[in-house]
Amino acid sequence: MLSKAKTKWIHSLELKKFRSEYRLFTAEGNKLAEELLPLLPCRFLAATPEWLEAHPGVQAEEIVEASYDELRRACTQASPQGVIAVFHQPDYPLDMARLSQTLSLALDNVQDPGNLGTILRTADWFGIEHVLCSPGTADAFQPKAIQSTMGAIGRVQVHYVDLEEVFEKSGLPVFGTFLEGEDIYEAELPGRGIILMGNEGKGISPRLAAKVSRKLYIPNFPAGRKGPESLNVSVATAIVCSEFLRRKGRTVL
């Protein structure tokens, strides 16, 4: 049985205050739970008898059997999928030596949790291990962000840092997207560096724009055609990552 006290505790994790205090986050649904259970320690898991029977080896600090109605009251989604799990937030120290050898992402005040989660999923797809977030970026452990990651939160290391300080310490080239930038499809792109993506409405802040080594531009097609003013930040991130990684084997680090 999923008690009212446990349900209230689960709902408290919808608030950043309690996620930060307890260092926990929730994951709802079969697909997400199955992705994360092998990757992160699970503090609490509630599931239907059918789900538990289908997953006899599941490991968690506490496991309770719950009805569909009990799960519905605990979940943020309208249609729960048989399981809700509470995981410990991973805490990764930022390894500057490792960072200096790889291609990483940096996010400057990306506000929408859905965009953030999709960016983490994109990073995971392209094998990018580190995502550096400014303090003003949305919380990666917010429920909507977690759902959008589709399990990437268990593989991609998210660091909330002073981006300006990290850029200076790393000594890596920083690439940002700007309307006045160089066409990304014609630019020389190295196999390591930091790709900086900006806020949904304001783009890259002037303070961080001053730290950008190379300005890149994603052209629309056909050239000169009038279209939308900009791309969604998660879509733009996918395009930029794809072009960097497509050429990684043919460029000098």
pLDDT score at 225: 67
Report pLDDT digits (tens) over 8-67.
Answer: 999 999 999 999 999 999 999 999 999 999 999 999 999 999 999 999 999 999 999 999
- The CATH topology of domain 96-250 is Alpha/beta knot (3.40.1280)
Cα–Cα distance between 139 and 199 in angstroms, integer? 14
Enter the pTM of the model: 0.91
Q: Which CATH architecture has domain 4-88?
A: 2-Layer Sandwich (3.30)
**Contact at 8 Å (CB) between 100 and 174?**
no
- For the chain, the structural domain boundaries read 4-88, 96-250
What was the pLDDT predicted at 78?
Answer: 73
Tens-digit pLDDT profile for residues 80-99: 789 999 999 999 999 998 89
What are the tens digits of pLDDT across the range 199-229?
998 999 999 999 999 999 999 886 666 666 6
Tell me the residue type at 226.
K
Identity of residue 11 = H
pLDDT band at 253 (very low <50, low <70, confident <90, very high): very low
